[in-house]
Chain A
Amino acid sequence: MSPIDQRLQEALDGERDPGDLPTDLRESYALLSAAAQMLKTMPSVSVASRVMAEIRQNPATVHSEGSARRLIGWLGGGRAVTVRLRPVWTLALAAGLAAVLLVPWSNSLPTPGVAQGIANFVGHFPGAQSVEVVGSFNDWSRGALALNDDDHDGIWHANAVLPAGPHEYMFVVDGERWVSDPLADRYVDDGFGAGQQNSLVIVRPVSAQP
């Protein structure tokens, strides 16, 4: 910012005759003097006072609009919404939300009985087209329990409600390759003489699950 010319400052302070100023400074003096005069004559009004005055000038504007227009305005305009709920309604809302969130689970997996538990089967088989689990819990029948890889990351998984107790099983990959569960806690020789091992899961009854 360039400092004001000393001669102009003296003229504005009344210490110098403005007529003595050069032409360019004389124009500046005229503009600054006019601005100073305007500030002197403007009433001092606070922002709040001006806003309230504006509101008072247009008190019927909102109410003069039609219902539809007001509804559109209400829907289109942003506004803060505060909802106050009694504690009992808060609990009811939470229960409803939980029910909505849990419904898909309960649809896909039946609720275990007292002597049943849930077994989780997970395997990493990148590139596989299908993976299923076959075991003593389904009479070693093919096609009874398929694993899913919905996000195609190669990790296949399935949950099943099974009778509590030990169950031997294997994965069948792409319908032909029998594979022990690499994440199983236990293995047992399948007894057919080729050294192949079944995986062993011990399903805990729901009553004993932590």
Chain B
Amino acid sequence: MSLRLVLALAVAGAPAALGAQTGNGSTRLAGRVPAAALPAIDSILAAAVAESLPTEPLVQKALEGSAKNIPVDRLVNGVRRGYLQLRQARAIVSRAVPGQAPPEGHVAAVAAALARGLSGPVVERLLTAAPNEPPGPALHAAADLVAHHFDPDSAADLLVDAHNKGLRGVRLLDVAMAADHELQRPGGRTPSEALAHVRAMLPNVRPGRP
């Protein structure tokens, strides 16, 4: 390949690469999101960029709403709600993991946990217990337990115990699954009995299905 061709390709590719670096995802929305919704969504995305919040969850929400033919006002409100959750999530991450810029992955995972109904204090507790771990699995495990009517604080206790006994990542989802299995066992256990039973067997919980 000649030097001239290499330079030509570099010049041709530079705008796209620059756009990818500085873009907030709004270019992916053109043609897919109703034109009437684009200005409002663009401004939300710009605000997220200005606050160093992750924009991908907001882009996904806009694409989702458009695919579902959600009316423009509700579509924009849905994106705005996501933005507010991201802000709340960043505040939680900043408190739980002080001294560093909140990683975007942490912020997005916490926002997803809030959307699933976990309370801020429970999220913060789980983050504090494992500040150097990707928080997604622990937060989803807690949300799974809460969705199955376990007490949120007791669920967090169990997951912190599981972490302290060496379980990481998706193995924490297995802890939640084990507790749910205990709850559904014939003969019946109360939620607190189920959690106690799983806690007693830690870290030996059965690996879950894919």
Chain A residues near B115 (CB, 8 Å)?
A: 188-189, 191
Tell whether, in the assembled complex, residue B60 and residue A118 are in contact, meaning their CB atoms are under 8 Å apart: no
Contacting B at CB under 8 A, from A118-166, are 118, 120, 134, 136, 139-142, 165-166
Confirm or deny: B136 has a beta carbon within 8 angstroms of a beta carbon on chain A.
yes
- Over the window 43-71 of chain B, the binary record of Cβ atoms lying under 8 Å from chain A Cβ atoms (1 yes, 0 no) is 00000000000000000110111111010
Contact B28 A186 (CB under 8 A): no
A210 touches B208 (CB 8 A): yes
CB of A204 to closest CB in B, whole Å: 5
Say how far A163's CB is from chain B's closest CB, in angstroms. Answer: 12
Are B116's CB and A192's CB within 8 A?
A: no
User: Interface size of A by Cβ–Cβ distance < 8 Å?
Assistant: 34
Find residues 84-137 in chain A having any chain B CB closer than 8 Å to their own CB. 117-118, 120, 134, 136
Contacts of B60 in A (CB 8 A): 136, 139-140, 168
* Nearest A residue to B169, CB-CB: A208
Partner of B77, one of A142, A185, A193: A193
How far does the alpha carbon of A111 sit from the alpha carbon of B66 in the complex, in Å? 32
Chain A residues with CB below 8 A from B208, complex form: 204, 210
B112 interface neighbour in A134, A140, A166, Cβ under 8 Å: A166
Q: Using a Cβ–Cβ cut-off of 8 Å, how many residues does chain B contribute to the interface with A?
A: 33
| Contact between chains at A204 and B78 (CB < 8 Å) | no
- A205 close to chain B: CB less than 8 A: yes
B85 shortest CB reach to chain A, Å:
8
**Once bound together, how far apart are the Cα atoms of A200 and B78, in whole Å?**
18
Known contacts A141-B67, A186-B147, A166 near B136 by CB under 8 Å: yes
* Nearest-neighbor residue (CB-CB) of A120 within chain B: B210
- The CA-CA distance from A139 to B208 in the complex, in Å, is 28
Instruction: Confirm or deny: A202 has a beta carbon within 8 angstroms of a beta carbon on chain B.
Output: yes
For the complex with contacts A186-B143, A191-B78, 8 further pairs of A-B residues with Cβ separation under 8 Å are A136-B60, A187-B147, A190-B68, A191-B82, A194-B74, A196-B68, A202-B137, A205-B170
Interface residues of B (CB under 8 A from A): 28, 60-61, 63-68, 70, 74-75, 77-78, 81-82, 112, 115-116, 136-137, 140, 143-144, 147, 169-171, 173, 207-210
Interfacial residues, chain A to chain B (CB-CB below 8 A): 117-118, 120, 134, 136, 139-142, 165-166, 168, 170, 178, 185-194, 196, 198, 200, 202-205, 208-210
A-B pairs, 9 with minimum CB distance: A210-B207, A140-B67, A192-B78, A140-B63, A191-B78, A209-B210, A140-B64, A192-B70, A208-B170
Can you offer 8 A-B residue contacts whose CB atoms are under 8 A? A120-B210, A185-B144, A190-B64, A191-B81, A192-B70, A193-B74, A204-B210, A209-B207
